[in-house]
Structure 1
């Protein structure tokens, strides 16, 4: 069974790329939806007023997660 997106993402926090940066920020956010799929994370980010860079990082991470 594939790990859900939110948990997969925060596990990437030590990477030295855009996914790692996004994961590091998500890991620090106590309200981050760990059980969410990419659409749920996108909805959460929009409620927080995320900028285009954050959405781009989400898309990059979601593509990688989808290939795993």
Structure 2
């Protein structure tokens, strides 16, 4: 039986945290999230989506950034 999302197990894929930081030039909510993340010294650069979500919760990020995280995960998984 194949996992419904095998791309998350691709060991050659750039980690989510670093991919997100590289999105800072985007002109959308993902870009906003990336710019905020780049200013956060506690941002999990080598983290997965769950680590980033946990960080957003820890710093009390607004709902818009959580929505951007969902969109970013979709984009990242599509790679």
What TM-score results when the alignment is normalised by the length of structure 1?
0.93
Gapped runs of 5+ residues in structure 2? 1-11
Task: Tell me how far 1:23 sits from its aligned partner.
Answer: 0.6
Root-mean-square deviation (CA, aligned residues, Å) is 0.8
Deviating above 6 A after TM superposition, structure 1's stretches of 4 or more consecutive aligned residues are none
Rg larger for: 2
Aligned equivalents of 2:58 and 2:30: distance in 1? 21
Choose from 30, 48, 51 the match for 2:59.
48
Q: Distance in 2 between matches of 1:14 and 1:50?
A: 20
**Which residue does 1:67 correspond to in 2?**
78
**19, 23, 37: which one aligns with 1:12:** 23
Q: Which runs of 5+ in 1 are unaligned?
A: none
Distance in 1 between the 2:33 and 2:62 partners?
A: 12
